[in-house]
Amino acid sequence: MDFTKLVPFLLVFHLLNPTVVLPSSLSSSNGLPEIPKRFLDFAKRKELADWMVGIRRKIHENPELGYEEFETSKLIRSELDKLGIPYNYPVSVTGVVGFVGTGKPPFVAIRADMDALPIQEEVNWEHKSKIPGKMHACGHDAHVSMVLGAAKILKEQVEELKGTVVLVFQPAEEGGGGAKKMLDAGVLDEVDAIFGLHVWHENPIGTVASKPGPLLAGSGKFNAVISGRGGHAALPQHSIDPILAASNVIVSLQHLVSREADPLDSQVVTVAKFQGGNALNVIPDSVTIGGTFRAFSKASLIQLKQRIEAVIQGQAAVQRCNATVDFHYKQIPHYPPTVNNKDLHEHFRNVAAVMLGNDKVKDMKPLMGSEDFAFYQEAIPGYFFFLGMQDESSPKLSSVHSPNFIINEDVLPYGAALHASLAATHLLKAELKLPSTEGNLHEEL
């Protein structure tokens, strides 16, 4: 989105929602810490907590895959309308971008992904998925509810805002690169920073975990077709066996990490698909393999991509086969590493410590999972963190992407309050560094 094209809209929005002068306590050095605590208390009120739970359950019952989130988007827009929050739609097919605050700079964004997974839910409960073969097994229904909760907090506490919070409801995180499409649509033009989170089943509720620098790996996918010449299994001398060639390929690909990568530069190459032949006595004409590769730097990802292609084609040739390799880059862009901005890390730690306590803010090791939030971080400073939801007095929660995945709905107020607090306090800090734009705005008006 080009914010320069929205100047008239933003000015009208500002005139209808004039900035309220902050109480002196919030402008003082002792005032800022009041915001995270107060926002969490507000988020835990029964009315707001129940509202977020209701939204989350509606979304959970009707999961939609990437770029198909039309009903989810409709629900989001309905709630924004009720809150009196303006928005743009459609953005990147099903995306929604809302605005809370003055309508003027500085701008800070908070993000929620909306899509579900092609998984059959096995959790038997009142709000089980009603769509066969589809399930919110990664918590995106909770993420949407949290950002809507944050929007409600910010709207109720609009006097805290010294700028504009951009609400990014994004499609297709699960392999579809929705963040890249949103970025290409201009949703972060003029935005100074963006925050995102992910619920996490292993960590206790009321805790957060993250780190500065590389947090999640970048990733890419590949498919390869290895072609030979089929024939009778009893007469292999008359065939060119693609299964043997594919087997050598898979073994050789493992050497890329064990013998070519720096041991201190974590990388992964996994072949997770092997398809070839349907009869026990027939050598097939071709075999298809596929998998993923991951690393914590773009340079390592590029190197892996080049070597994967070379190894597949080279090993196929050794066995007299031909090979074609497809990295699907046009359909699904490779995800860059998720790299947290160091200044935003300090901001996150300060806000989370005030809200939750220093002992609830954990440092974590990097994970080899990937997140398309990384596309935002390539464009502007961004910060991504994990929000614990395990009740230590309850049974252990199942992992994300599991048909038994469950959300502890007590986590929703924490996510909403953290989103709202990170955004509001970032705007307060940014205001101190922002040069006056009143002249330009008046001239435009």
Binding residues for Mn(2+), as ranges, are: 138, 140, 174, 198, 401
| 3-state DSSP assignment of residue 355 | helix
Angle, helices 412-433 vs 140-156, to 10°: value is 50
Indicate if the alpha-carbon torsion angle 155, 161, 166, 167 is positive or negative. Answer: negative
CA dihedral 30, 32, 34, 39 (to 10 degrees): 180
Per-position DSSP letters for 280-343, written without gaps between them = TTEE-SEEEEEEEEEESSHHHHHHHHHHHHHHHHHHHHHTT-EEEEE--TTTSPPBPPEEE-HH
Q: How far apart are CA 50 and CA 332, in angstroms?
A: 37
Closest CA to 400 of 203, 209, 224: 203
- C-alpha distances in angstroms, 322 versus 232, 245, 254, 318? 20, 9, 20, 9
Count Cβ atoms within 10 A of the Cβ of residue 306 and give its class: 0-12 exposed, 13-18 middle, 19 or more buried.
exposed
Question: What helix, strand, coil percent values describe the chain, rounded to 5?
Answer: 40, 25, 35
Binding site per annotation, positions: 138, 140, 174, 198, 401
**Ramachandran angles phi, psi of 366, nearest 5°:** -60, 155
**Contact 136/72 with Cβ under 8 angstroms?**
no
First-to-final CA distance of the chain: 20
Contact 419, 110 (CB under 8 A): yes
Which residue in the block uniquely carries the two structure tokens 């031909």?
Answer: 322
Q: Which helix (H) or strand (E) holds 223?
A: strand 218-227
Q: What are phi and psi of 364, to 5 degrees?
A: -135, 160
- Tokens representing 216? 């999640």
E strand or H helix that includes residue 16: helix 7-16
What is the bridge-based pairing of β-strands 164-170 and 95-101? antiparallel
